[in-house]
Each structure stands twice: as C-alpha cells, then as structure tokens.
C-alpha cells in the first residue's frame, strides 16, 4: 500500500487532503483510482492511517480515513548521524539508506578534510534538497517519521550538541583497541534512548579532531575493523549494527 505524508492542517476529522507533488504521483504515475486505499501519515503527530480515495481533483486528492495504524515503523532508540560533509551523491546515498535503516536525523559537519565547500546560500539549497530526498525515502520505506536533515554545522560547534546524547560513537580508522562490539555490550538497553555516531568525510578525520571528540564525557572512539570503510559506508554499518543490537532487526 502506498504511503503519503500530510500535515495536521490537512486533516479534518475523518477527511484528509493530499496536495503538492503527491497529487501528480497518485494520478499520473501510480494511476490510483477512487475507492482504492492508501496509507497517510501525519507529519506533526507521526500517526498513520488507512484511507480510501474519494476524489481525484486537479490539485488535490481527497481521502477518507478508515482506521488508525496502531503499529509503528519507528525505532525505540533515537539515532542521529553526524556526517563529515562528503560529495553530493554520497550524501544523498547516506540519507536514503539511513532513512531505510531507521535513523532519526543526519547532521552534515564541516571538517578539515572535507572536499566540498559550501557558502551559506548553497548550504540552504542543499539541505532543502536533502530533506526532500529524505521524504521520498520515508514514503518508500513506510516510515512514520521523516528523517530530519539538519543545517550544516562546523565540528568546533557540535560539542555542546553532542552532550545531549546518552552516548556518542566516533568512528576512527586509527583506533586499534576499542571496538563497536565492546562499546555496545556496555550500553544499557533500558536507559539509553538517544545515540549519535560521528563519521569523517573522504580521507577521514584529522588527529586533532578525534582528540577533540575524545574529550566528550559520553564519547567513545571506536574501530570498525581491519578494513577501511568509505565515508558513505561507515555510518550505515554503524547504524545497522546499533539497530540490530537494540533488537530493531530481529
């Protein structure tokens, strides 16, 4: 069943109005007809519903809400990725796959070895595009929440933000002792509700950057194994392992 997102203002009792690009997708791409059922999700409440198409108009689709979906597709743990700003196609890939895995947010981070350099105007356009990609991916993977793509931030400005998490896992190719397995074995499944992972861009993080993050009281610098992972691979591996360990993929 196809899924579409609406805002609270688009729902009035048992009637919902789908607008925007989804109208063309429903009418001309999917070619859905009256009486066919779709799933709609309220972006403001994350509640999902089964609905029936009543009318297919020029610039909107009117549906009747039949019942609420009681089961959620969202994870019990909030997981954010702080991603060293990679090249455009890699960032898009990370956002799509992170959405599918169940990640809550992606925060692009300016680091010393970032190849991509964005001015303020370009940053706004990029984040807007990335957010649209996240919404499309959320529909495809039937998420109840759209992954949030945050504004680009510099590494020196993320310290206070990272203190908000129960644990921060920093992936570093030069770490030889502490493994992700060891760290997750020590993490309480009962009290840990909010986690972050930090991954460098192409070329990884510089030593000083890692040492800066190592000072976090809730931070753990880990190795991801003997092989070097690409910047677009590492966050997805970390996210998958964390979701598995927290019983999200069993």
Mean pLDDT, residues 87-102 taken together: 93
Per-residue pLDDT, 106: 98
CATH H-level, domain 3-69: superfamily? Hypothetical PUA domain-like; domain 1 (2.40.240.20)
Q: Other C-beta atoms within 10 Å of 47: how many?
A: 16
Mean pLDDT, residues 8-37 taken together: 93
Q: Where do the structural domains in the chain lie, given as residue ranges?
A: 3-69, 78-245
Top CATH class of 78-245 equals alpha beta
Q: Is the pLDDT of residue 72 over 90?
A: no
Q: Is the pLDDT of residue 250 over 70?
A: no
Per-residue pLDDT, 87: 84
Q: Which long-range contacts (CB under 8 A, 24 or more apart) does 24-33 make?
A: 26/2, 26/53, 26/56, 26/61, 27/56, 27/61, 30/2, 32/2, 32/56
Per-residue pLDDT, 248: 59
Per-residue pLDDT, 90: 94
Residue where the block lists tokens 């509640």: 47
Per-residue pLDDT, 48: 93
Distances (CA, A) of 69 to 2, 5, 75, 97, 136: 14, 14, 16, 24, 20
Mean pLDDT, residues 32-57 taken together: 93
Smallest CA-to-CA distance from 39 within 140, 146, 148, 133 is with 140
Q: Is the pLDDT of residue 113 over 70?
A: yes
What is the total residue count of the chain? 250
Per-residue pLDDT, 241: 93
Confidence of residue 100 (pLDDT cuts 50, 70, 90): very high
Per-residue pLDDT, 215: 93
**How confident is the model over 181-219, as pLDDT tens digits?**
999 988 888 888 999 999 999 989 999 999 999 999 999
**How confident is the model over 126-152, as pLDDT tens digits?**
999 999 999 999 999 999 999 999 999
Q: Which pTM does this prediction carry?
A: 0.90
């Amino acid at each position: 069943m196809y899924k579409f997102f609406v805002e609270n203002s688009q729902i009035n009792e048992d009637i919902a109005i789908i607008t925007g690009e989804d109208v063309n997708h429903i009418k001309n791409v999917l070619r859905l007809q009256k009486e066919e059922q779709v799933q709609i999700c309220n972006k403001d409440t994350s509640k999902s519903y089964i609905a029936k198409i009543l009318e297919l108009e020029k610039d909107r689709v009117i549906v009747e809400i039949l019942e609420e979906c009681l089961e959620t597709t969202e994870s019990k743990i909030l997981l954010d990725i702080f991603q060293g700003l990679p090249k455009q196609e890699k960032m898009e890939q990370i956002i799509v796959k992170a959405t599918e895995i169940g990640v809550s947010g992606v925060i692009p981070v300016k680091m010393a070895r970032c190849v991509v350099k964005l001015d303020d105007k370009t940053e706004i356009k990029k984040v807007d595009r990335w957010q649209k990609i996240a919404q499309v991916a959320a529909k495809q993977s039937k998420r109840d929440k759209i992954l949030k793509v945050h504004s680009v931030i510099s590494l020196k400005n993320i310290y206070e933000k990272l203190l908000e998490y129960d644990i921060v896992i920093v992936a570093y190719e030069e770490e030889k002792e502490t493994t992700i397995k060891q760290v997750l074995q020590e993490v309480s499944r009962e009290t840990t509700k909010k986690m972050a992972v930090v991954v460098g861009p192409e070329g990884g993080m510089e030593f000083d950057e890692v040492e800066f993050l190592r000072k976090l009281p809730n931070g753990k610098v880990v190795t991801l194994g003997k092989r070097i992972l690409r910047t677009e691979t590492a966050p997805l591996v970390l996210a998958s392992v964390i979701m598995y360990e927290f019983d999200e993929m069993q």
